[in-house]
Structure 1
C-alpha cells in the first residue's frame, strides 16, 4: 500500500478480551512517540473504534476523487470504520462475501497518505477477513491479545497458528486483564489466572509484549471516547501501552512492507 510503511494486525481468537481497547491505546502510544499512525476497524459486524475515538454518530468521511475517501482524524491519528458509513444501530445482516468486499473497500479506497503504522483492529476468530488481509496485503506482523484465562488461550493459539500458516510473523502477546487491584484496599487478585501469556509465548517461541491490568478507568475512558493514553498519559496503564508500542516498533525498525522479486537459478 502506497505510503504505508508497516501494517500490523491486532488480533484475538475470541471476543471480549479487550482487543479493540488495546488497538486504540497502542495507536495513541505510537503517535505520542512521534509516529504517523492510522487505525482501520475491520470488525464489520461490531465496529467500536468510532466510539473509542470519540467520533460523533453520523460523522461521515469526505470523498477524495471518484473512488477514494479521506479517513477521519481523532486524537492525532487517522481512522476508518464501518461505523463512519452506516447507522451503527442497524445490524449488518451480511454474508461472508459482502463483509469481505466491505473490508477491502475500507482498506484500499481510504486515502491514508503517509503512515508509519496502520493498525488493523481485527474481528474475532480466524475467518474470511483474516484470510483476505493476509493474502491481499503485505502484513508486517500480528499482535495477539488474550487474557490469562485458559479458555481464552485456546482461541489465542488458533490465531497464532493461522498467522503462521499464511507467513505473517507474530510480534508478541499482550496479556490483558492480567491482574485486578482493588481501588479501596489495594489488594491484588488474578481473576483470570496467572502465567497464561508466558505459557503461550514459550509454546510458540514469541514474547510477551506487556501485561495490562483489569482496570475500571481503562474501560470508562475508552467508552467515553478519550482512551487512557490520551487522557492519562502518565498513568501506569498508559506507561504499559507505551512500552508495548516501543517493543513493537523496535521489532519492525529496518523492515519494509514492500517485498522484492524472487530470483531463482536453475540449470
Structure 2
C-alpha cells in the first residue's frame, strides 16, 4: 500500500516562541509512536537546530540544507539520525552557503522527503519572509506556535493571515509558556485567533534542562508537564485529520507527488490512523474541557493519565502531576463572567489594546 505522508510547516512570526523546540519534540513524540519523521530546518540564515540535540554534526563543514538548496547534493546527503525514528535536515551556518541557496529548489526537496517519511515537520524562521512563505505554500497544514504574550499573539495572527492567503490549512495552535503572566486560558487565545487548539505547553524547567543535555524533553523528562503536553499534541496532530500512519516493515510503493506551488488538490491523500484516533481522542481533550468532534465527551470516566510511552503521567506517589499541561479535568477557559474572545471592537484602538481589553489584562 502506498503511504502518503503529511508535511507540516511549524510557524509563528514572533521569534523565541518555541518553534524549534516544538518541531523537535513533536517529531520525537511521533517517532516514539512508530512514525518515521524528518525535521527540516528552514531558518537558513540563523541555523541552530543541531544545538538543541546531542548529534555529531559540525554544520560548518558537514553537508546541510544549504548545499541541497545550492544544487550541490541530494537531500539524503544532508539528512542525519537524531533519535530513534527521527531524522533531521539541518541548515548550515556559513554566510557563503546561505548566499548560494535557492528556494525554488525547495518543492523538489519536500516531495522527496514526503516519499520517504510518514511526517515532515518544517521548522520555519521568525518573520514573514520567503523562508516562511515557501514552506507554508508547500505544506499540507500549518502548526501555529505562540506564547500568551500580546506581541506573540499579534504575530501569530499575522502568520494565520499569511496561511489563509496561500490557501494552506491551519491545523491548530500550540500555545507555549502556557499559564504565565496574566494570560487567559489557551482555548480563549485560540478562539481569538480563530483557530483550533492543538494543545498548550506549560512553562517547565524540564525544557531548558533537556536542551542543555541535547535531548527532546519527551525523552529526557517523559513525565514532566511539557513532555506530557507534547505527546498529547503529537497524537492530536495526526489523530483527527492526518494521512500519516506508521510505515510497515516492508518498503512501501512510491508515494504520490503533487506540485504544492500550483493547484491544490483536496482528496489527494489516503485516509489513515483511524485506529489511533479512536484510542486517543477520548482522553486528549483540550484545555477548554472539550473533546475531538469525532468522539462524544466522556462525563463519568476518570481522566486517563497514561502517556504514549506507556508511563503513568503522575508523580511517584500516585498524585496527579501538578505541572502537567493539557489537564483533562481542569478547564482553563476562565471564569464564566470573563469576557469572550471577541476580535471586534473600537477600530481606533491598537491591536494590543484590543487584546488587553478582550482578555482583561
TM-score > 0.5 by shorter chain? yes
1:218 touches 1:228 (CA, 8 Å); kept in 2? yes
Distance 1:261 1:197 in 2: 30
Q: Secondary structure at the match of 1:241?
A: helix
Q: In structure 2, what is the equivalent of residue 56 of structure 1?
A: 56
Determine the structure 2 residue equivalent to 1:185. none
Give the TM-score normalised by structure 2: 0.59
- 1:149 Cα deviation after fit: 0.8
Indicate the residue corresponding to 2:155 in structure 1. 155
User: 2:91 matched to 1:82?
Assistant: yes
Q: Is the 8 A contact 1:53 1:75 kept in 2?
A: no
Deviations 1:1-50 (A, max 9, x none): x9761100111111011111111011101111111110001011111211
RMSD: 3.3
1:107 is displaced (CA, Å) by 3.3
What number of residue pairs does the alignment pair up? Answer: 240
Structure 1: which 4+ aligned runs deviate by more than 4 Å? 61-64, 90-95, 108-113, 254-262
**Residues 43-94 of structure 1, C-alpha deviations (whole Å, 9 max, x = no match):** 1111121121222342635999x841331011121111113xxxx4x55696
> How far apart, CA to CA, are the structure 1 residues paired with 2:96 and 2:105?
13
- State the match for 1:114 in structure 2: 116
Q: Identify if the C-alpha distance between structure 1 residues 110 and 51 changes in structure 2 by more than 3 Å, giving closer, same or farther.
A: farther
The answer on whether the counterparts of 2:12 and 2:145 sit within 8 Å (CA) in structure 1 is: yes
Alignment deviations for residues 114-149 of structure 1 (CA, whole Å, 9 cap, x no partner): 2110000000111111222244x2x11111111111
SS class of match (2:7)? strand
Unaligned runs of 5+ in 1: 180-189, 263-267
Partner of 1:72: 80
Q: Say which structure, 1 or 2, has more relative contact order (CA 8 Å, 6+ apart).
A: 1
Unaligned segments of structure 2, at least 5 residues: 245-255, 259-263, 268-361
SS at match of 1:212: strand
Aligned ranges 1:182-193 → 2 under 5 Å? 190-191=180-181, 193=182
Higher strand share: 1
Taking the aligned partners of 1:92 and 1:195, their CA distance within structure 2 comes to 45
In the TM superposition, what is the alpha-carbon distance from 1:200 to its structure 2 partner?
3.8
Matched-pair contact (CA < 8 Å) for 2:111–2:257: no
TM-score norm. by structure 1 comes to: 0.77
Deviation of 1:113 after TM superposition, in Å, equals: 5.5
1:251 paired residue number: 240
Asked whether 1:239 is paired with 2:228, we answer yes
Residue 203 (structure 2) aligns with: 214
Q: 1:183 corresponds to which residue?
A: none
Query: Secondary structure in 1 aligned to 2:50?
Result: helix
Aligned ranges 1:120-199 → 2 under 5 Å: 120-135=122-137, 137=138, 139-179=139-179, 190-191=180-181, 193-195=182-184, 197-199=186-188
Larger radius of gyration: 2
The farther-off stretch of 229-238 and 103-112 is 103-112
Given that 1:27 and 1:39 are in contact with CA atoms closer than 8 Å, whether structure 2 keeps it comes out as: yes
Distance of aligned partners of 1:251 and 1:168 in 2 relative to their CA distance in 1, 3 Å threshold: farther
Instruction: Specify whether residues 257 and 53 from structure 1 end up closer, same or farther in structure 2 by C-alpha distance, changes over 3 A only.
Output: farther
Cα deviation per residue 1:203-222 (whole Å; 9 max; x = unaligned)?
34322211112222201212
Aligned residues of 2:148 and 2:189 also touching (Cα < 8 A): no
